[in-house]
């Protein structure tokens, strides 16, 4: 019987809405696309997830990558926590699962600066979980096997009693190697239905 739910965070429990945020700052589309290509969807962000770049070096690398947009890049850096927004269903989901006797954890590739700026706001739901690991703290990222193993060992999780929810198939494959059941996140409703079946319960979530 499944009694443990492990969630990815980005695009599962929070929206990674960097484009919408930059639009709200009044940046033109060409600038937004340039920042997306050269920074958000680049090795710079991957290194942020890994926690191997300190803030001073991080800003220098960002500006060097897109010097033509140095002003906009600096603005993004200063308020980078606003690129994530918690989904409305997230805290309810966590509370309902726990009320049904499930342990709830998170395992996420996540940058330090984003988390620290959003910790008391859009990431506050992490305090309601039974525990979890963010990649930057351990310099490990999914789908590296060591990251899953660390979660299992840290919280004494029985993989055969756990299900992992992630929006990336490659990360699910990493969990499967430990015998953890998986659900590919496509929508909250779809995952809810699959979780109910796995947990052997109906009406797990109440809204």
Domain ranges of the chain: 4-15+84-199, 16-83
CATH class of 4-15+84-199: alpha beta
Q: Are 8 and 21 in contact (CB under 8 A)?
A: no
Element (H, E) at 15: strand 14-16
Q: Where are the alpha helices (DSSP H) in 128-168?
A: 135-138, 145-155
Q: Where are the alpha helices (DSSP H) in 69-202?
A: 70-78, 90-99, 112-118, 135-138, 145-155, 169-176, 188-199
- The per-residue pLDDT for 64 is 98
- The per-residue pLDDT for 74 is 98
- The per-residue pLDDT for 204 is 57
- The per-residue pLDDT for 203 is 58
Residue entry with tokens 């963010």: 134
pTM of the model: 0.96
Written as tens digits, the pLDDT of the chain (207 aa) is 889 999 999 999 999 999 999 999 999 999 999 999 999 999 999 999 999 999 999 999 999 999 999 999 999 999 999 999 999 999 999 999 999 999 999 999 999 999 999 999 999 999 999 999 999 999 999 999 999 999 999 999 999 999 999 999 999 999 999 999 999 999 999 999 999 888 887 655 654
| Angle value at C-alpha 119, between 148 and 112, nearest 5 degrees | 55
């Amino acid at each position: 019987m499944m009694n443990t739910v492990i969630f990815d965070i980005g695009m599962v429990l929070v929206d990674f809405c960097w484009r919408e945020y930059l639009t709200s700052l009044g940046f033109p589309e060409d600038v937004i696309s340039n920042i997306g290509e050269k920074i958000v969807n680049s090795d710079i962000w991957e290194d942020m997830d890994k926690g191997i770049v300190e803030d001073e070096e991080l800003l220098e690398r960002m500006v060097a990558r897109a010097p033509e947009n140095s002003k906009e890049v600096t603005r993004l850096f200063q308020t980078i926590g606003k690129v994530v927004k918690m989904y409305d269903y997230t805290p309810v989901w966590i509370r309902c699962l726990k009320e049904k006797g499930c342990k709830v954890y998170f395992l996420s590739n996540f940058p330090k600066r984003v988390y620290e700026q959003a910790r008391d706001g859009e990431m506050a739901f992490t305090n309601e979980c039974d525990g979890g690991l963010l990649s930057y703290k351990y310099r490990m990222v999914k789908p590296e096997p060591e990251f899953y193993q660390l979660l299992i060992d840290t919280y004494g999780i029985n993989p055969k009693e756990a299900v992992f929810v992630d929006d990336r198939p490659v990360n699910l494959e990493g969990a499967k190697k430990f015998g953890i059941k998986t659900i590919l996140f496509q929508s909250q409703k779809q995952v809810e239905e699959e979780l109910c079946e796995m947990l052997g319960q109906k009406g797990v979530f109440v809204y």
